[in-house]
Amino acid sequence: MNLTSIPAFTDNYIWVLSDETGKCLIVDPGDAAPVLKKIAEERWQPVAILLTHHHHDHVGGVNELVKAFPELAVYGPQETHNKGATHIVTGGDKVNLLGLEFKIFATPGHTLGHISWFTSPWLFCGDTMFSGGCGRLFEGTAQQMYLSFQLLNLLQSETLICCAHEYTLSNLTFALSILPSNPDLNEYFLKVKELRAKNRSTLPSTLAIERKINIFLLTDNSDLIEKIPNETKLQHSEARFAWLRTNKDNF
């Protein structure tokens, strides 16, 4: 099975899993044009679209792709039922496609109905976990996003984090404003800065890497706890997660 990332818009990635016969699955096609171009180049045969949530930059290309490939199945959460989804799935469901069993995780926070798709080693987590960061809370709460992070953090360390945006450099810049002396952050920042200077992708990441450099997975880090002002000293990981998300919003 081959993993391909297709750049779209300013910083989106549309992910494609393809097998040796050319059959493929398309994840969060916000724009049909680059996907159709790649399908033609690779002579892929699309089998299904997998959606994580309802935002336009993740579903905007669905109708055009289905028009081009009428037999295409579209799987997504309830919030995508009017965005082209033909098969509604929810957390706990399992879907078999191209010989792979996908587990569906409910990962609310960015949106209320957000889901993530997992088939080892690939995790398609949309706008939940980014490399070095987490999604904005447009509909859900910090508590929901914290619990979604804890759920994803139960996966194997070699899990590939196939998130939907190239936000790694900005996420690490924020993290370093909180933990400027953290050696893992500083080392990875230099690596990412070099990649982006060459216009190269920083994704997919791995869960092993994220456990070291994603500040939203470092809520129990003693240095981070010390950075929180005394008058707002927060006793629980969940509260520190919310504090980080608020600070990231205002960064």
Residues annotated as catalytic (active site), given as ranges: 53, 55, 57-58, 110, 127, 165
Measured distance between the N- and C-terminal CA atoms of the chain, rounded to whole angstroms: 39
Enter the tokens of residue 41.
């180049």
- Residue 3's H or E segment, with its range, is strand 2-8
Amino acid at 90: T
Nearest to 129 by CA among 112, 149, 155: 149
State how far the Cα of 141 lies from the Cα of 8, in Å rounded to an integer: 28
What stretches of 19-159 adopt beta strand conformation (E)? Answer: 23-27, 45-50, 73-76, 87-88, 94-97, 100-106, 115-119, 122-126, 129-130, 133-134
- CB of 182 closer than 8 Å to CB of 171: no
- CB of 114 closer than 8 Å to CB of 137: no
Contacts of 63 (CB under 8 A, 6+ apart): 84
- CB of 150 closer than 8 Å to CB of 241: no
Q: Kindly list the distances between the CA atom of residue 55 and the CA atoms of 22, 125, 235, in Å, as whole numbers in the listed order.
A: 28, 14, 34
